[in-house]
Amino acid sequence: MMTAFLIGLGVMCAMVLLMTLVILVCDATIANYGPVQIVINGDKEVTVEGGRPLLSALKDRQIFIPSACGGRGSCGMCKVRILEGAGDPLATELPWLNAQERRDKVRLSCQVKVKRPLRIEIPPELLDVRQYRTTVLRLRDLTYDIREVTLQLAPGDRIDFKAGQFIQFEVPPYALTDDPVYRAYSVSSSPSTHDRVELEMRLVPNGICTTYVHKYLKEGDAVTINGPYGEFHLQDSDREMICVAGGSGMAPIKSILMRLDELKSPRKVRYFFGARTGRDLFLVDEMRALERSLPDFRFIPALSAPEPGSGWQGETGLIPAVLERHVTSVANAEAYLCGSPGLINATVAALKRKGMPEDRIYFDNFG
């Protein structure tokens, strides 16, 4: 009886082991694509591990294609032109590609698995995007819900960006979260300080990132960021500047103002800062200092609901109305707007009514 049982057990184990061996061999051969060459923009060559999605393969080589959904195919941001080496678009990609993109061989890099050598094309600015390991240098509360976070880059490291661009802040798994999460924040420090990055973060109730930053992050902690990203930045011209931003939207504007100050720019600049009450104002002293330092800069805060009895003497009302009152001529002006889609739409409408052409209105849309 015992022998029969042992024989049975032995055969069972042998079968399972044999099948496992077969699968392992096949995995190492059929499913193994080995190292694969990718040629980017005709001249940059990288070698990646085959079999993985293009998005993550490139990320391992420090090439960051923008993605909001982390490679699930639900944001459509990771588009890349694949000139050679990929098959037909998958059903998951088709909803994101219009007819022109299909003709141009645009694909979603999170859905394409790298199996054969590829020739791809990506916007050249993305090649400048890098990952940086930083430490928290300082945490400072600017208002009851806006925290200023200053990150120091690793010794010897440097970041090059244009005033107005943003970085992606990596929130590591903490408390209730299991995976890292990325959130975009504009850099509020000047691009000439290459070894640090200053951010303004507004506390959003139940926000994964802002809860982490306001409740868990401490000075000295390590933070991973990548960037710089964004087409919103200071334009090299001598036109007058009309800036509109409230709350944490001040960050890119502050970077732009500091840059102008360093350049000793003679440009006429007006910055309309929209807020609800006096409690939402911050960095007013810094703005006043810039007013003294720059030849023609005015900081114009406007409160939409000033507390009665607070003695507020400045502008009141919503920004588009304040703009109407203050801006007379837009003939030689360009606009920099940072805020919610609602604010931007209303401001753009007000500026267009004054005759400002759309191609001189730059905005950093929260969306």
Partner 1 sequence: MAMKETPQMKSARANMRPGKLSLPGFLGDERDLARLLDEDNEAVKRLGLTHAAVAARMRELRDAGAKGLGEFIAVAPHFDVRVDSVRGRMPCPFGERGLYPKTNVTVRNLATGRDITYTDLHIHLVAAHGFYEGRGTPYRLEPADLAAILEIRPANKEETP
Partner 2 sequence: MNGTWHLLTILVTAVFTSNILLTNYLGMCSFLAVSKEVKTSLGLGTAVVFVMAVTCPLNWMINAWVLEPLHLDYLRFIVFIVVIAAFVQVLEMIIERVSETLYANLGIFLPLITVNCAILGAALFMIIRKYTLAESFLYGAGSGLGWALAILAMAGIRQEKVNQSKLPRGLEGPGIALVVAGIMALAFMGFSGMGGGN
Which residue from 51, 76, 172, 314 is in contact with partner 1, where contact means CB under 8 A?
76
Which residue from 53, 71, 73, 230 is in contact with partner 1, where contact means CB under 8 A?
73
Which residue from 1, 2, 88, 205 is in contact with partner 2, where contact means CB under 8 A?
88
Please name every residue paired with 339 in a beta bridge, in sequence order, or none if there are none. 365
What letters, b where the CB count within 10 A reaches 16 and e where it falls short, cover 277-295?
eeebbbbeeebeebeeebe
The residue range among 43-51, 80-88, 134-142, 314-322 that interacts with partner 1, by the rule CB under 8 A, is 314-322
Residue the block writes with tokens 């507390």:
307
Which residue from 44, 61, 102, 115 is in contact with partner 2, where contact means CB under 8 A?
115
The reply on whether position 365 binds partner 2 by CB under 8 A is no
CB contact at 8 A, 315 and 309: no
**Size of residue set near partner 2 by CB under 8 A:** 23
The residue range among 36-44, 56-64, 120-128, 339-347 that interacts with partner 1, by the rule CB under 8 A, is 339-347
The reply on whether position 27 binds partner 2 by CB under 8 A is yes
Contacts (CB under 8 A) with partner 1, residues 41-70? 68-69
Which residue from 300, 323, 343, 348 is in contact with partner 1, where contact means CB under 8 A?
343
The reply on whether position 366 binds partner 1 by CB under 8 A is yes
Which residue from 74, 237, 310, 316 is in contact with partner 1, where contact means CB under 8 A?
74
Q: Show the 3-state SS of the chain.
A: CHHHHHHHHHHHHHHHHHHHHHHHHHHHHCCCCCEEEEEECCCEEEEEECCCEHHHHHHHCCCCCCCCCCCCCCCCCCEEEEEECCCCCCCCCHHHCCHHHHHCCEEECCCCECCCCEEEECCHHHHHCEEEEEEEEEEEECCCCEEEEEEEECCCCCCCCCCCCEEEEEECCCCCCCCCEEEEEEECCCCCCCCEEEEEEECCCCCHHHHHHHHHCCCCCEEEEEEEECCCCCCCCCCEEEEEECHHHHHHHHHHHHHHHHCCCCCCEEEEEEECCHHHCCCHHHHHHHHHHCCCEEEEEEECCCCCCCCCCCEECCHHHHHHHHCCCCCCEEEEEEECHHHHHHHHHHHHHCCCCHHHEEEEECC
CB of 341 vs partner 1, minimal distance in Å:
7
Contacts (CB under 8 A) with partner 1, residues 244-273? 248
Which residue from 7, 83, 94, 305 is in contact with partner 2, where contact means CB under 8 A?
7
Which residue from 29, 91, 175, 328 is in contact with partner 1, where contact means CB under 8 A?
175
The reply on whether position 94 binds partner 2 by CB under 8 A is no
Which residue from 15, 16, 24, 305 is in contact with partner 1, where contact means CB under 8 A?
305
| Distance (Å, whole) CA 225 – CA 263 | 27
Which residue from 47, 62, 74, 92 is in contact with partner 2, where contact means CB under 8 A?
92
CB of 104 vs partner 2, minimal distance in Å:
20
The reply on whether position 204 binds partner 1 by CB under 8 A is yes
CB of 154 vs partner 1, minimal distance in Å:
27
The reply on whether position 91 binds partner 2 by CB under 8 A is yes
The reply on whether position 30 binds partner 2 by CB under 8 A is yes
Which residue from 2, 30, 43, 179 is in contact with partner 1, where contact means CB under 8 A?
179
- For partner 2, the binding residues (CB under 8 A) are 4, 7-8, 11-12, 15-16, 19-20, 22-23, 26-27, 30-31, 33, 87-88, 90-92, 113, 115
